[in-house]
Structure 1
Amino acid sequence: MYHLTALVTLLAIAFYFFTSLNVSRARTKTGVKAPAMSGHPDFERAFRVQMNTLEWMPIVLPALWLFAVYISDAIAAGLGAVWIVGRVVYFVGYSKAAAKRGPGFAIQGIAAIALWAGALGAVMLRLVK
């Protein structure tokens, strides 16, 4: 069973939901009315955190599950948790200033690459057997 990977998947979705609520909060706080996508820098940073998280989810979630299936539920969940931590660090940094988003981006990017490369390697090994 893949209980740990399922839990990390749900946590990733919860974090994305949080970023969505944060965009709504930023709209209210800064007065940026829907459907506007720009205006106040605080709103724009909150929106970019949400969109960047969304952009990475189709990369991370399939790789997370393929890694779990082909390699290990626990290791996949651990790497997935690192990805979430990276997203949180990204959120905190980017919320302060765009220039502070780098460390979180690096953490989540390394975790995503590890999941993808691990899954790809495991699939390729099985194909050549």
Structure 2
Amino acid sequence: MYHLTALVTLLAIAFYFFVTINVSRARSRTGIKVPATSGHPDFERAFRIQANTLEWMPIVLPALWLFAIYISDAIAAAIGAVWIVGRIVYFIGYSQAAAKRGPGFAIQALAAITLWAGALGAVVLRLV
């Protein structure tokens, strides 16, 4: 069973839900009306955090599950947890200033690439 990977998947979805709610809160705080996506730097940063998280989820989630299936549930979950931590660091940094998003981005990108490369390597090894 893949209980740990399932838990990390649910935590990733919970984090995405959190950043989505944060966009709504930023709209209220800054007075940016729907459907506008610009107009106040605080709102724009919240919007980009949410959008960037969504952009990475279709990369991370399949790679997470393929890694778990082909390599290890526990290792996949651990790397997936690092991805979530990276997203949290990204959220904190980017919320303060766009220039502070780099460390979180690097952490989550490294975790995502590790999951993808590990899954790819495991699949290819089984094909040979």
Normalising by structure 1, report the TM-score.
0.99
Q: How does 1:4-23 map to 2 (within 5 A)?
A: 4-23=4-23
Q: Match for residue 80 of structure 1? A: 80
- Structure 2 alignment gaps of length 5 or more: none
Q: CA RMSD in A?
A: 0.2
> Percent identity at matched positions?
84
SS at match of 1:36: coil
Normalising by structure 2, report the TM-score.
1.00
Q: Match for residue 51 of structure 2? A: 51
Q: Which residue identity lines up with residue 101 of structure 1 in the other structure?
A: R
Q: Match for residue 42 of structure 1? A: 42
Q: Match for residue 109 of structure 1? A: 109
- Structure 1 alignment gaps of length 5 or more: none
Q: CA deviation at 1:75?
A: 0.1
Pairs aligned (count) = 128
Structure 1's consecutive aligned runs of 4 or more residues displaced over 4 angstroms after TM superposition are none
Q: Which residue identity lines up with residue 123 of structure 2 in the other structure?
A: V
Q: CA deviation at 1:60?
A: 0.1
Q: Which residue identity lines up with residue 71 of structure 2 in the other structure?
A: I
